[in-house]
Chain A
């Protein structure tokens, strides 16, 4: 029962570097989401994909891009990393309005 799998689990970047966070789900869910979680704050939505082929901005999209590669995979890209993007990133998936299933996160530090 893999559920939602995120890679990598940890990453350290230098300011200005780029990287892609990967997410895959095996529950055949239509909707997928990317969040960031910062200390003392609730999870904030970066981007979401309601269905394969569609993506939309969430609350904090600046500095990020996403790709819904197929129904299973939804990636998050940082084109030019900044220290303010140091955070824990969570991917989630759900079937329409059902509870979202979360991965275990990617811990990203930008120096």
Chain B
């Protein structure tokens, strides 16, 4: 069964610190991997999207990495801010299913002052 597993489930860090969120997937055939940010009470918003051939992609203080061989991705947040408090969702798209996506359960990040 196609699955996307994220760790940790939740994380608390101090403002200004860095953190790394993990995503492992068993989705096959793989097309691309996306990271979404979901603020409390809001819908998910796309942060990055990476295809099979891309190892890393940045969006401001967010840097996503992808190892398609080990089927692992990470999202690194640099110099965290209070506004980074949110859930971060890893999403994988199958290569043969239009825009059908498999969602991870998310990592809930809390940044404290």
Contacts and interface: CB of A to CB of B under 8 A. Distances in A.
Interface of A: 4, 31, 40-45, 48, 50, 58, 90, 92, 94, 96-105
B46 A104 contact: no
B99 interface: yes
Contact of A97 (B4, B44, B93, B104): B93
Given A42-B89, A50-B98, A94-B99, A104 B105 contact: no
Interface of B: 4, 9, 31, 34, 41-46, 49, 89, 93, 98-106
Contacts of A100: 46, 99, 101
A104 B31 CA distance: 27
A48 B98 CA distance: 11
B42 to A, nearest CB: 5
A40 B105 contact: yes
A42 B103 contact: yes
A96 B99 contact: yes
A90 B45 CA distance: 12
Contacts of A90: 43-44
Given A42-B4, A50-B98, 14 more contacts: A31-B98, A42-B102, A42-B103, A43-B44, A43-B89, A44-B103, A90-B44, A94-B99, A96-B99, A97-B93, A99-B46, A102-B43, A103-B43, A105-B43
